[in-house]
Structure formats: C-alpha cells, structure tokens
Amino acid sequence: MYDSRVLIFGVGALASLFAGLMQKRNVLRQLTLFGHWRQQIRAMNQGLIFRGLDGSESKIKVPATDQIQSLADFDFVLILTKCYQTAVIAPLIEQVLSPNGVVFTLQNGLGNDKILAAHVREAKISQGVTTQAALLEGVGVIRHTGEGPTYLADRAHGKAQLFNEILNACGIASEISRDANSIIWGKLAVNAGINPLTALLEVRNGQLLNNNVWTKVLHGAALEARNVALAQKVQLPYADVIARVNEICKMTSNNFSSMLQDIQRGAKTEIDFICGAIVTAGKRAGVQTPINSFLHDHVRQKELGKPFDPTELNRLPL
C-alpha cells in the first residue's frame, strides 16, 4: 500500500482505463477522478464495468466527482483529458495539489506542459506519453483494447520515480525517460498519420496498411513530423519512423483511434495539438509539412460535418 493520494483529471476512455487498472490493485490511500460528464461520474461511483484484454469483465467502484471545491491536498495529479481541455483545468490544479505535489500529463500532442506552466510551477510538472489504449463502449463501460509502455519524464525532483513505481504496482508498465522531447515527438510522429487518417476514412488502424495511397499518406505525415523534430535537434526514440508506424498499426490493427471515436460521437478532436502543432513547429523551423496541413484542414472540416472524399488524398505530394 502506498500512502499517496492520486487525482485524475478526466472521466473519458483513457482516464477510465487508468482508474480501473489502479483501483483494481487497491494500492493507493486514495484515488479520485474529476470531470464534468455527470452520467459517467454517476456510473463510476456505482461501479465501472471493466472489460480486460483477456476477455474478463469486472465491476469496479471508482470515486468520481464534478465538485472541484471538495478536492484538496493530492500528492499526484494525473491529467488524462483531451488537449483542448488543458487550458480550462490548468487554473484548478494548484487548489487541489498538496504543497509538495506533482502534476503528470500523459495527453496527446504538443504544448500541454506550456499551458500548465502558466498556472503551476514548472518544477511540479512532468510530461510523458502512454501507449495504453481503451474504448468506451457505453456510459460506465470501458474496454482495454491495447497494452504498451508508459513513459514519464525524469523531472519533478524524484517524484516521477515514485509515481512510476505506483503505476507499475497497479499493473501499468511504466518507465522513466530522461528525454521528454524525444518520447513526445516519437508518439506525435506516429499519431500524425494514424489518428487523422482513421478519422477521415472511418477505418480501424490496421486498415491503413491495406491501401497503397493510404499507406503513403500515413508514412508521409510521420516523415514530416520526424523532419520537424530533427530540425529542432530532437531525436526520435526509435531508428526508423516508417517501421515504427507500421508496427503500431499492426499491433493496434483492430483499434478505433481516439480521433475516430471523437468524430463518430460528434465531439471536438485533438487535431490542432497533433497535425496543427506539427505544421506550426514546421513553419518556425523552415520545414515543409503539406501532408500534415492537409490532414489538419480536412479533419477540422469533418468536425463541422463536411464529408471527406478519399480521392482527395490522390492530390497530395506522395
């Protein structure tokens, strides 16, 4: 048992997955979730239906609330909201964090740490990435759809080491990375092709490798992200970005990406923080990013209800 209190911001798929995995092991003094989706919060308090990778099903009570004023003095705050929600929750963090508490963000995309740093001392912020995957199959029903390592940046004066230990004790394989930019850009390069393409085409991840044009767009988006990273002297955490993208597509072949899930339920996507961020960084670094620009613009249009014509992909410089 760890004498630690953990607050998770978010009650969506990834937050529900982490909460279910952490609560099942019962190694924390306290675990609480904060969010605004009242139906989901009610369901979690009554019992989250957790469907595991092995086909098992269990019901786990997870304390969740939408009353921020009732929360205080948490040792660790884990942010698992969508990127566009970071600016909304950032001003709330100091009031729930203990004096020596630390904030971890495992969100997608770029820039979350900078948004948080406007409200929380930078020394208290540690950024990372996760390759865990989940699907909300209904209110209060979460399915674990993919398992992979979580990486925490080696910051926060040793507190990252303790949180890393807690995650592993909860069955969430986690490692400490000494190069936060490398792991963040490494995931960004993979997400740049998979997420927007699956959202536009409305296909599972693995199907992107079954069509020659789709695969070329997938690879092109990842290569652009790699080039922008290298222009900023950031080395990706793997040698071959195309091999890595192919590997992830195969490993998650049956998964519906989080961006596709957002499109299907009519929600805002994280495209601005993924392809949009790559385009912006590319302009600063003098690197052309036509594929990421195309994907960014068309996902934004699809958010607004405009259907996507797959033949549009043929006019990209592949």
Alpha helices by DSSP H, listed for 48-153, are 86-89, 93-96, 112-117
pTM confidence score: 0.93
The one catalytic residue among 124, 159, 187, 302: 187
pLDDT at residue 153, rounded to an integer:
86
Sign of the Cα torsion 220, 225, 230, 236 reads negative
What domains are defined for the chain?
2-178 (3.40.50.720), 181-304 (1.10.1040.10)
Active site residue 159: no
Instruction: Give the position of tokens 């279910």.
Output: 20
pLDDT at residue 250, rounded to an integer:
95
Structure confidence by residue, pLDDT tens digits, 160-186: 899 999 999 999 999 998 888 999 999
Contacts of 145 (CB under 8 A, 6+ apart): 53, 133, 134, 135, 252, 254, 255
Distance CA 226, CA 206 (A): 21
pLDDT at residue 133, rounded to an integer:
92
Distance CA 307, CA 299 (A): 10
pLDDT at residue 156, rounded to an integer:
52
Distance CA 105, CA 304 (A): 28
Segments of the chain with pLDDT less than 50: none
